[in-house]
Structure 1
Amino acid sequence: MRWFIRSLYISVIALLCLAACQQESLETVKVGEVTRSIFYAPQYVALAKGFFEEEGLAVELQTIAGGDKTMTALLSDGIDIALVGSETSIYVTLQGANDPIRNFAQLTQTDGTFLVAREQMDDFSWAQLKGSTFLGQRKGGMPQMAGEFVLKKHGIDPANDLTLIQNIDFANISTAFASGTGDFVQLFEPTASIFEQEGKGHIVASFGTESGTLPYTSFMAKNSYLEQQATTVQGFTNALKRAQDFVQQESAAEVAKVIQPYFENVDVQLIETVVERYKSQGSYATDPILDEAEWENLQTIMETAGELPQRVAYEKLVNTIFAQKAVE
């Protein structure tokens, strides 16, 4: 019996040492996401399923509220990779960054917000927003720009045809609407679906389907990091592609079950509803390649919103080498 216990003890110690050695051999990658969102489901799938570890990477994920703060962390080397709207790379470039920020892997390809009305509207038309009070997103951010682009597309002048409120912080927009501010509000999931469940509002339209495909959220890094850590970036992109395939091939229920640990306070059935809604409208990019047509649509939306002093060439801020290899 003693020899059995001794052998078992030695085996356990050996396994612990092996696990420790494997952990030490992983390359640490610090990733900053602009918010925690079901909109980013493939990222959490890659984490939960161990796809990054299988590529030799230990991803340390932190949520950094706000695109400006996320980019500051990236520029100051607080993080290696940022998950944020592609428009931020344009803003940084136009400010004269010495080390260009380049988009190397696309995660979402449509706007992720929905138009929520205070009342049920079975026969909704965009013209019904005229004369209303519309609670929009922060000026200069991609949700606001996509929102205004859609309004103008439907013949609505945001400055004259409705009362547009944009001075409320992102975190407080849903609370303001629930408290009685506005007839319509532009919301991300799962808040939009939660409002429907609680009878506080009704989803009547999707800004994502109306604004077309664009690099809404992408992984980006300094050009120097992409050059010096090419193997790491390739492994990261490979893992992301596997996660994107998982999201496309598996049911919304299975995806919801996998990512639920990242949304502990959200019911799994609600997560499933949100995943299905984003899948059905093609919000999740099917691969990490950021197409030039999407890049140009992004800049058109920014121009329409008056937030783009000049266009920036696709080749300057987009690197598709890693994404192409991941797909191959």
Structure 2
Amino acid sequence: MRMRKTACLLLSAVLLSLAAGCGSAPSAVQSNAKPAAASEGKKEEALKTVKFSEVIRSIFYAPHYIAMQKGFFKEEGLNVDMNTAQGSDKGAAALIAGVADISLVGPETAIYIYNQKGDKTLKIFHQLTMKDGSFLLSRTKSDAFKWSDLEGKSVIGWRPGSAPQMVLNNKLLQEKVNKVDVVTNIASPAMAGAFTSGKGDYIQVFEPIASSLEKEGKAFYVTSVGQAFGPFPETSYVATSDFIKKNPETIQKFVNAVSKGTKWLNTASPDEIAAALMPFFEGTPKDIIIQSIDRYKKQDTWPAVPELNAEQFEALQKVLIDNGVLKPDQKVADLNAVVDMSFVKNIGKGK
């Protein structure tokens, strides 16, 4: 269950292979649709374009899509040019290579880059989610799931060093569950297809894929990994220190827009939310989107104050150490070395 290769090596390999873009085309469920959001009083030519890389396409990141669809970015004077990286390592590599201005990735990537002592460092400036976003599904129905049920079974999981992989591994360690074959070499867009073709006894997936597999009768819901594990700062907005220093107004506007998206999400009706999200998930039925949002809301996924504090940062580094991707002597002692929450603290204080 322990990683034999560090996440730093994984990230270095991605940096070497990165060319003009930062990801492959998303799957049908993870469509890379970019709807044009309407915003009165803003001329298109006056908007500043921000090159943005999301880790995967998932309803887990609903506040961001809502900010795009409802025109909140444009209200702030920004045009978001979005790309799906298919991995935090690729999203971080895109920042280092300069093909992305802002990435939505696991905050651990900022720690990995910091410890490489390179020319560039990353800083986390907005904490979008505070739970793991994955759900465990089974090939057979189980009325009373216990974590010990996984012993001797195989689980299609996420790549080594990724946040959902480490959270699942830590949960198995907590529950003292051994002899679980967690498959970590299947690319995220291919995971559902691998499961439906017969591979694995369980699968760990995000929404709306989890609900889609259920509706199709190809899997049965077992548990929310995020709810079972508890609070965890899984996904953050990150940029290079240089970009933040040179573009503080852009970062503030970006944070303001996403915060508007979160606020709208918490007050809108299920039908309104589904309508706003459907352009980003072409082919996904409305009821699946509504169920996905409901699940994420029930586990308190999106914090009212999107701040990564010292306690959460410590919890993050403990998970990294427990999973063998960070040595104890590599812990980042100074939160401010990789975190800048000043923009979050300025939300609502004017543009």
What TM-score do the two structures reach when normalised by structure 1? 0.89
- Is 1:311 equivalent to 2:331 in the alignment? yes
Q: Write out per-residue CA displacement over residues 75-123 of structure 1, whole angstroms, 9 at most, x where no aligned residue.
A: 1211111111111111111112323200001111111111111111111
Shift of 1:293: 1.7
Matched to 1:285, the amino acid is P
1:214 to 232, 240, 249: 232
In the alignment, which of 23, 48, 51 is matched to residue 30 of structure 1?
Answer: 51
- 8 Å CA contact 1:240–1:288 kept in 2: the answer is no
Aligned to 1:200: 218
Task: Note if 1:286 corresponds to 2:304.
Answer: yes
Say if 1:115 and 1:207, in contact at 8 Å, map to a contact too: yes
Larger proportion of helix: 1
Counterpart check, 1:248 vs 2:266: yes
What CA distance in whole angstroms lies between the structure 2 residues aligned with 1:103 and 1:21? Answer: 29
Task: Please state how far the C-alpha of 1:254 moved relative to its aligned partner.
Answer: 2.0
Give the whole-Å Cα distance in 1 for the aligned partners of 2:348 and 2:52.
Answer: 22
* Other-structure match for 2:96: 75
| Greater CA drift, 167-176 or 79-88 | 167-176
1:218-242, CA deviations, whole angstroms, 9 ceiling, x for partnerless residues? 1111112111111111111111111
Q: 2:202 aligns with which of 174, 180, 184?
A: 184
SS of the residue corresponding to residue 326 of structure 1 reads coil
1:119 aligns with 2:140: yes
Distance in 2 between residues matched to 1:285 and 1:82, nearest whole Å: 19
Partner of 1:7: none
Secondary structure in 1 matching 2:124: strand
1:70 shift after superposition = 1.6
Residue identity (%)? 37
With normalisation by structure 2, the TM-score equals: 0.83
Counterpart CA distance in 2 for 1:21 and 1:188 is 35
For residues 191 and 323 of structure 1, the distance between their equivalents in structure 2, rounded to whole angstroms, comes to 31
User: 1: distance between equivalents of 2:205 and 2:86?
Assistant: 16
Tell which structure's C-alpha radius of gyration is larger.
1
Report the aligned-residue RMSD: 1.7
The 8 Å contact of residues 135 and 204 in structure 2, kept in 1 or not, is answered as: yes
For 1:30 and 1:148, the matched residues in 2 are separated by: 33
Contact 1:109 1:214 (C-alpha < 8 Å) held by counterparts: yes
What count of residue pairs does the alignment treat as equivalent?
A: 307
Q: Which moved more, 1:19-28 or 1:93-102?
A: 19-28
User: How many Å separate the matches in 1 of 2:280 and 2:209?
Assistant: 16
Whichever residue aligns with residue 68 of structure 2, its letter is L
Unaligned runs of 5+ in 1: 1-18
> Take 2:245 and 2:234, find their aligned partners in 1: how far apart are those partners?
24
Q: Distance in 2 between matches of 1:228 and 1:216?
A: 27
Q: CA deviation at 1:264?
A: 1.6
Partner of 1:13: none
Partner of 2:35: none
Unaligned stretches of 5+ in structure 2?
1-39
CA contact (8 A) 2:106 2:234 kept: yes
| 1:1-328 superposed matches below 5 A | 22-157=43-178, 161-309=179-327, 310-312=330-332, 313-326=334-347
| Cα deviation digits, residues 245-287 of structure 1 (max 9, x gap) | 1112223332121121111221121111101110111112323
Residue 155 of structure 1: CA displacement? 1.4
- Retained in 2: the 8 A contact 1:116–1:203? yes
2:346 aligned counterpart, secondary structure:
helix
AA of the residue aligned to 1:102: K
Find the residue that maps to 1:58 and give its secondary structure: strand
Q: What is residue 6 of structure 1 aligned with on the other side?
A: none
Q: Which amino acid aligns with 2:331?
A: R
Conserved in 1, the CA contact under 8 Å of 2:42 and 2:74?
no
- Note the C-alpha offset of 1:136: 2.2
CA-CA distance at 1:146 after TM superposition: 0.6
Counterpart secondary structure, 1:97:
coil
Distance of 1:236 and 1:163 partners within structure 2: 41
1:249 aligned counterpart, secondary structure: coil
Q: Which region of structure 1 is more displaced relative to structure 2, 115-124 or 285-294?
A: 285-294
